[in-house]
């Protein structure tokens, strides 16, 4: 995998995306693939309109596979020399160990997933915000502290569909992991009618050293309750 961000901006007008290798803290562009250090800073000056990541919003890092689009048969859609393949396949799982301590400025951390075509082209021009076809390109917010949660004490999970509809039953909520670590398991399964399932387990309840996960464990996760963790 490679850790990227959108700070590789070319102001000359060249036809390129802002994707580049991220520095260890996500605050800049690295000259080579660099392992993420695990911590992202909050916005440095939220009053700057359009300041972007690390300035008017928190720092951001996006994770791609290490396969460059030019190394195989290319990628779907636009890409430049910093275009990498996303995580292909209809059945897959992502596991993230996360803590979201209170920030000093914007204080709105989030984990979200986008179609790789969006990441390689222009994230905020064509994700789920009404650009392009109805519903944009889709976006899955795994755990996001949203603006309407004025206390900023819980995370929301929601999905923006291609057709513009919203998640069945609306958002689901859980306590924000401010002082402790939790693990989010995100499962995609395109068999049958298909399912996208996100569950929260304890911070130490997943062994990241394993090479595989049993079918029984995945089945248990898929059958877990979909009720909000907050009443």
Q: Which of 60-64, 70-74, 96-100 has the lowest mean pLDDT?
A: 70-74
pLDDT in tens, 178-215: 999 999 999 999 988 888 899 999 999 999 999 999 99
Residue at token pair 């709105």: 108
SS3 category, 221: helix
SS3 category, 124: helix
Instruction: Categorise residue 60: left if φ over 0, alpha if ψ from -120 to 50, beta otherwise.
Output: beta
Given a cut of 60, is residue 60 above it in pLDDT?
A: yes
Distances (CA, A) of 109 to 73, 81, 84, 223: 36, 29, 25, 28
Which of the 8 DSSP states describes residue 194?
-
pLDDT in tens, 8-49: 887 777 777 889 999 999 999 999 999 999 999 999 999 999
Indicate the helix (H) or strand (E) that contains 110: strand 110-114
Q: What pTM, to 2 d.p., does this model score? A: 0.89
pLDDT in tens, 105-114: 999 999 999 8
Residue 82: what pLDDT? 93
Which positions ≥6 away from 26 have C-beta within 8 Å? 3, 5, 36, 40, 41, 53, 54, 59, 60, 61
Given a cut of 90, is residue 170 above it in pLDDT?
A: no
């Amino acid at each position: 995998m490679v850790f990227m961000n959108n700070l590789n901006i070319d102001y000359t007008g060249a036809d390129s995306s802002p994707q580049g290798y991220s520095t260890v803290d996500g605050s800049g562009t690295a000259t080579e693939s660099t392992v993420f250090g695990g911590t992202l800073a909050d916005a440095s000056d939220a009053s700057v309109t359009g300041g972007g990541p690390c300035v008017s919003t928190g720092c951001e890092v996006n994770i791609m596979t290490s396969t460059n689009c030019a190394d195989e048969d290319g990628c779907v859609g636009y890409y430049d020399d910093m275009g990498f393949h996303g995580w292909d396949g209809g059945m897959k799982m992502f596991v993230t160990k996360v803590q979201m301590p209170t920030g000093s400025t914007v204080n709105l951390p989030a984990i979200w997933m986008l179609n790789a075509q969006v990441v390689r082209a222009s994230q905020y021009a064509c994700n789920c915000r009404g650009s392009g076809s109805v519903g944009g390109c889709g976006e899955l917010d795994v755990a996001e502290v949203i603006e309407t949660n004025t206390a900023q004490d819980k995370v929301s999970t929601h999905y923006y569909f291609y057709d513009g509809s919203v998640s069945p039953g609306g958002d689901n909520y859980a306590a924000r992991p401010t002082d402790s670590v939790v693990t989010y398991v995100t499962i995609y399964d395109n068999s049958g009618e298909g399912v996208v399932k996100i569950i929260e387990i304890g911070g130490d309840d997943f062994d990241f050293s394993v090479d595989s996960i049993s079918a029984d464990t995945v089945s248990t996760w898929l059958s877990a309750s979909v009720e909000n963790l907050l009443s």
